Chain A
Amino acid sequence: MTASTHGQPVSERLSSLWERPRVIDHIFATVDHKRLGVRYMVTAFVFFLVGGTLAGMMRTQLAVPENQFLGPESYNRIFTMHGTTMIFYFATPMLTGIATYILPLMLGTRDLAFPRLNAFAYWVFLFSGLFIYTSFLVDEVPDGGWFAYVPLTGPNYSQGLGMDFWTLAILFLGISTTAAAINFVVTILRMRAPGMAVQRMPLFLWGVLDMAFTILIALPSLTLATLLLALDRTFGTHFYDPAGGGNPLLWQHLFWIWGHPEVYILLLPSLGIISTVVTAHARREVVMYPLVAVASVAIGILAFGLWVHHMFSTGLDLLPISFFSAASFTIAIPSGISIFAWVTTIYGGRVRFSPAFMFALGFIVTFVIGGVSGVMVAMVPFDWQVHDSYFVVAHFHYVLVGGVVFPVFAGLYHWFPKITGRMTVPTLGHGAFWLIFLGFNITFFPQHILGLLGMPRRVYTYAEGLGWDTYNAISTAGYVVLGLGIIVMVFDFLWSMQRGEEAGDDPWEADSLEWATPSPPEPYNFAHLPIVHSRTPMWLDRTPERGGQLDRIEDPMDDGREVVTTSVLDAAPDAVLRVPEPSYVPLFAALALTVAVVAMLVEVYPVSVAGIVGLGALLAVWLWRSPAPAPERVNQIRDRVHLPDVRIAGPHSLGRWGMIFFIVTEAVLFGSLISSYFLVRGSADEWPLGGIAEPELILPAILTALIVLSSASMFWAQRQVEGSADRNPPLGMLRLALVVSLALGIAFLSLQAYEFHRSEFGPSTNAYGSLFFMITGTHAAHMGVGVLLIGWTLLRTWFVSHEPGQRSDVPNVALYWHFVGVVWLVILSVVYLGVRGL
């Protein structure tokens, strides 16, 4: 392990590669997943404290009847910001942060697949949070509730900037969440330690993988919903406006297609944390591993079947709803399986009652209560009774606090020694747990009763003598206890960070690879990357034959920031790649985006455009130099590490995988858009609305021809790169193919612009016009991005030299271009041809 290469001890050599000496670089340019993970966690925790303070203001107001502490307007603002903060700025980013920190360590690798993207995602999250909170400074706070139902949030009812802050912040944050999800999926699928086949993946990794997939499929609906709302509010479109032929139900559909899975998006990694903590602290592998792993997959899938169950009271018919109730009942089964598995594991284990374990127990208890009340809420007639009452408030806090906050705290206590190198103080931890657990139940249990007694949610006060006073007072008292618990916990963390006992590498004698590193880990995580032979490598792999050590790749892989990539199912090693260096570009890109968003809020569109252009330019710089090793180096690696095949382009490249999942989420976006079209059309008496003529077909026919030809020439370009692994790069042909594609793309855009220009209706004419321009316009915007990408690849053929087999930009851009072409064919059949059939 102390072998030296390059005339230096390995650890020194690796440190110099993986860490920059200058402090300013650490702060603004770092791409280290550990630093970014900690930042995520700390930022999210601050948002938790802020959201908790807002909750305290509401509980103060509700403590006694007819209280005058908050008026109705402030109350609306505060519950909106509380819900929004807790869901968007605490829960999701906190879990993202834990995953960002833990994932590469648990996988036995050195960073996430896309480190700079990770930095970008963090900055965007931070700026989005600061952005939405500036609404307090200018006294234009969002007040439409965290699910922002239209028409109340539409242009007619909600004046002022409040809801504009909300829509823009959510759109902005969505970029960060999507980026993180793509990063997690590719990292888990492609960067596991050699040997960590699917049947050996720790359950936490399953949880994060399922979470990330669910995000990629669910989030586009929210993005679309808020985008359409922003357009309705600012540009007078009519997506949700019944007077213009739009449909307010569209909001609810789009919102809940995301909103319900969101609860599970939060739950899935939380279940993973519980499995981790139970394994480590019951000192025994979770029983029925395959079922628990697949249960989490099943929960992710079934979650999509639940979306209309939040719309029980909106007058949908009984039968269509029943299809979704079926999913609500079914989802109880995988949840039940997991609970059963944990309880059995604990029962047969040698339990260490650490604070982390206590929080896990607290979770299990609370989750059962939340599950029972959830099944009650899922029963259609019962739902009609309690809808919009405090029963629902109690239910979702049991699910969210029990299901997310407790696991998060369990995880923080569990990994604290790894992150800081020191142990927390057990007495303080137990004190915090009991205060939080009891305080939580005192706060929220009485709210079930309040709901049954008829107290509606979202009321800022209530009259005396309805029998609600005592329960409300108890609930507020519970908040105080809970708050004390949080204070104790924070104190424990701050104190232990400096004074806690030294933790050593593996204080819990846990099973997974993060405990094979020093605490805190070195910047490069592992000097010699581990190889895995079982599900619990720290327990089973360190056999006497291996000298009591993990199996490791002997080569330190220190000719750059090198990592091994592995195959998806079996985690057989298939390539050595380099991950990028620290960079300021992610920060600047996030700043450019912030400028664009702020300018949109105040409607100074030229500045917005400038921000977007700046962002584009920075991305071009960002992607300009791929960190691919030089050709000699590829051969050297091949000889030294004996990998079967070391290739940077093609199916092995991480960029290709990132592109595939980006396209997945984009496809869902277009799918939601097309479904919205059908929903609005289904509720219209005529189509096109308002006597607009059906679209002509000559122009679309030409457009289609252009797009098909351009796809063909991109395919040709791709062939030049991929089919020539050992030849000299036929750069001339490649350039020609790219130029042809570029010209066809530009021709398409010009013709489409001409079509828009001579159209006799506009996006604000009526809902038909809004949808027509939204669909074709979104597609055109994608074409525009594609054209820029092709131009960028073309430029790179002159300035960036590559071996032919390594040029991964061309196939990636081609993939994107083909996708945009396919989308056009769908649009053609729905928006142009489909109208005729009616």
Chain B
Amino acid sequence: MSQARNPYEIHDYPSRRPTGVGPWTLAFALFGGTIAWTVHLIAGYSVANYMCGDAVAVWILHGLTVVALTVVALAFLTALRVVRHATRLPKGERTPEEDRDQFLASGGLLLAGLGFMAITFGEVAVVVAGCTP
């Protein structure tokens, strides 16, 4: 029976150098925008449904939007930084982990963009429809 090769030799992982991007950074780059949108949706819906009539309600809604958009922006910037970092070398010289980071962070860019749009649509509704009982 032949001696099997070590899968780590024939396999690309783990590779020569660490990527320098931590798991939490990566997670935030990927999902930060989505989480901001989710919170904005649920909180905004609850406030609009149960609190409109109170004069502060509309300000709470604006505040929510500001906070949510800030988080989205941070997620976007983080993702951008990760992509830049992962693609600093030409294609042939990147490690598989760098490819992975690039993939996940580009996904984060898309998700943050979508979060931005959904939150902005919600805010437009607040401005147009107002929050009166």
Contact = CB atoms under 8 A, between A and B. Distances in A.
Secondary structure class of chain B's binding surface, majority of residues: helix
Nearest to B52: A319
B131 A319 contact: yes
B122 A326 contact: yes
Interface string B110-133: 110010011101100110011100
Nearest to B98: A199
B45 A195 contact: no
A383 to B, nearest CB: 15
Contacts of A305: 37, 41, 118
A291 B106 contact: yes
A199 B99 contact: yes
A298 interface: yes
B48 A682 contact: no
Given A3-B1, A294-B107, A570-B97, A320 B117 contact: no
A461 to B, nearest CB: 40
Nearest to A337: B110
B18 to A, nearest CB: 13
Interface stretch (A20-28, A44-52, A598-606, A635-643): A635-643
Contacts of A295: 110
A294 B102 CA distance: 12
A323 B46 CA distance: 10
B117 A333 contact: yes
B111 A642 contact: no
Given A326-B121, A329-B121, A319 B126 contact: yes
Contacts of A334: 110, 114
A301 B34 contact: yes
A553 B4 CA distance: 7
Contacts of B59: none
Interface residues of B, number: 45
A573 interface: yes
Contacts of B63: none
A322 interface: yes
Contacts, number: 134
Nearest to B130: A319
B48 A290 contact: no
A290 B104 CA distance: 8
A641 B126 CA distance: 61
Nearest to B9: A642
Given A198-B103, A291-B110, A642 B97 contact: no
B7 A290 contact: no
Given A290-B106, A301-B34, A323 B45 contact: yes
Contacts of A570: 13-14, 96-97, 100
Given A295-B110, A326-B118, 15 more contacts: A195-B13, A198-B104, A298-B110, A298-B111, A305-B41, A319-B130, A320-B45, A320-B48, A323-B45, A329-B117, A330-B121, A334-B114, A555-B4, A570-B100, A642-B6
Interface of A: 3, 5, 194-195, 197-199, 290-291, 293-295, 297-298, 301-302, 305, 316-320, 322-327, 329-330, 333-334, 337, 531, 533, 551, 553-555, 569-573, 640-644, 682
Interface of B: 1-8, 10-14, 34, 37-38, 41, 44-45, 48-50, 52, 96-97, 99-100, 102-104, 106-107, 110-111, 114, 117-119, 121-122, 125-126, 129-131
14 contacts: A199-B99, A199-B104, A291-B106, A291-B107, A294-B107, A301-B34, A305-B41, A317-B49, A322-B122, A326-B121, A326-B125, A533-B12, A553-B4, A554-B4
